[in-house]
């Protein structure tokens, strides 16, 4: 399917690996020039080379997108963009008794205020030109409960509320804002969670992964390619009537009818 976005320019945050990279790659395959960022130089350079091989222009910015200075750098090098994909590393798991005010503030900064500030920065140009696409990577736990990911739940619920209202406000300008809610995907984050489960349960890494896979109705982890393709569709010309939605990609894990 021709997504109708060849020649557009996208800023995809936290994108040297994992879900962010999957989104950048799918957009690049659709002919979109991409600006990517991450904190660590070597994987960022490798991602840039992979994306450039797809024949698009790639700008790579080594920066922490959750800091004011890092975000300013990324936005300055990105310039005016047609598409924004927000993303950053997720908060650590834990327990309600572990978390102090500073832990919540860190999560809120990284996973709520960072995307909100990025959205605020790109909206004026998108509104002026009458076209824009914004996708936020959040989590399946926005839809269903998880005790151990309370920091993530708290911050992402705030972002979800902001998007619900703001997306309706800007839709008349041809700008859509939607969220993608990943379930378990085969990325470094999943490796780290599987390793933690293996240690906790006294089982091997493969046994831990099999346990988590068995908890998903699809019986497997999602792939970054599946995730990226969905993102590219939400950023396409075809998705202009999809406004303020929370698109769950979880292999059926979250038990909800709607």
User: Of 19-38, which residues contact ligand NAP (CB under 6 A)?
Assistant: 19-20, 37-38
How many residues bind ligand NAP (CB under 6 A)? The answer is: 29
**Angle (nearest 5°) at CA 215 between 26 and 217:** 65
- One DSSP character per residue, 100-141 reads -HHHHHHHHIIIIIHHHHHHHHHHHHHHHHT-EEEEEE--GG
Contacts of 59 (CB under 8 A, 6+ apart): 34, 35, 36, 77, 78
Is residue 14 part of the contact set for ligand NAP (CB under 6 A)? yes
CB of 128 to ligand NAP, least distance (A): 27
Q: Per-residue x/- marks for ligand NAP, 57-76, CB under 6 A? A: -------xxx----------
Taking contact as CB under 6 A, which single stretch among the options 17-25, 164-172, 194-202, 208-216 is the one that binds ligand NAP? 17-25
Which of 112, 123, 133, 139 touches ligand NAP by CB under 6 A?
139
Of residues 214-233, which lie at the interface with ligand NAP (CB under 6 A)? none
Sequential DSSP letters for 180-210:
EEE-SBSSHHHHHHHHHHHHHHT--HHHHHH
User: Does 86 participate in binding ligand NAP (rule CB under 6 A)?
Assistant: no
Is 146 one of the binding residues for ligand NAP (CB under 6 A)? no
CA atoms within 13 A on the CB side of 209: 15
Q: Which residue, 30 or 184, has its beta carbon nearer to ligand NAP?
A: 184
CA 82, distance to chain mean position in Å, is: 17
Site string for ligand NAP, 152-191 (x = CB under 6 A): ------------------------------x-xx-xxxx-
CA angle (129 as vertex; 235, 77 as ends), nearest 5: 70
Nearest to 65 by CA among 96, 38, 30, 45: 38
Comparing CB distances to ligand NAP, the nearer of 131 and 230 is 230
By the criterion CB under 6 A, which residues form the site for ligand NAP?
14-20, 37-40, 43, 64-66, 87-90, 137, 139-140, 182, 184-185, 187-190
């Amino acid at each position: 399917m021709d997504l109708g976005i060849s020649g557009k320019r996208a800023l995809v945050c936290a994108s040297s690996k994992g879900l962010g990279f999957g989104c950048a790659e799918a957009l690049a395959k659709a002919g979109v020039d991409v600006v990517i960022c991450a904190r660590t130089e070597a994987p960022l350079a490798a991602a840039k080379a992979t994306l450039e091989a797809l024949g698009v222009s790639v700008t790579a910015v080594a920066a922490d997108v959750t800091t004011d200075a890092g975000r300013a750098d990324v936005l300055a090098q990105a310039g005016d963009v047609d598409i924004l994909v927000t993303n950053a590393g997720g908060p650590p798991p834990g327990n309600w008794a572990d978390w102090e005010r500073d832990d919540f503030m860190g999560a809120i900064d990284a996973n709520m205020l960072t995307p909100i500030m990025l959205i605020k920065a790109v909206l004026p140009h998108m509104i002026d030109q009458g076209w824009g696409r914004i996708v936020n990577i959040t989590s399946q736990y926005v839809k269903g409960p998880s005790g151990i990911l309370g920091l993530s739940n708290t911050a992402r619920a705030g972002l979800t509320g902001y998007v619900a209202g703001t997306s309706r406000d800007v839709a008349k300008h041809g700008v859509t804002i939607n969220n993608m809610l990943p379930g378990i995907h085969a990325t470094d984050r999943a490796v780290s969670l599987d390793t933690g489960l293996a240690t906790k349960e006294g089982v091997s890494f493969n046994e831990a992964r099999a346990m988590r896979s068995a908890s998903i109705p699809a019986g497997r982890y999602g792939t970054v390619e599946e995730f990226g393709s969905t993102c590219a569709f939400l950023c396409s010309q075809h998705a202009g009537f999809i406004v303020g939605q929370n698109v769950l990609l979880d292999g059926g894990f979250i038990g909800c009818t709607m």
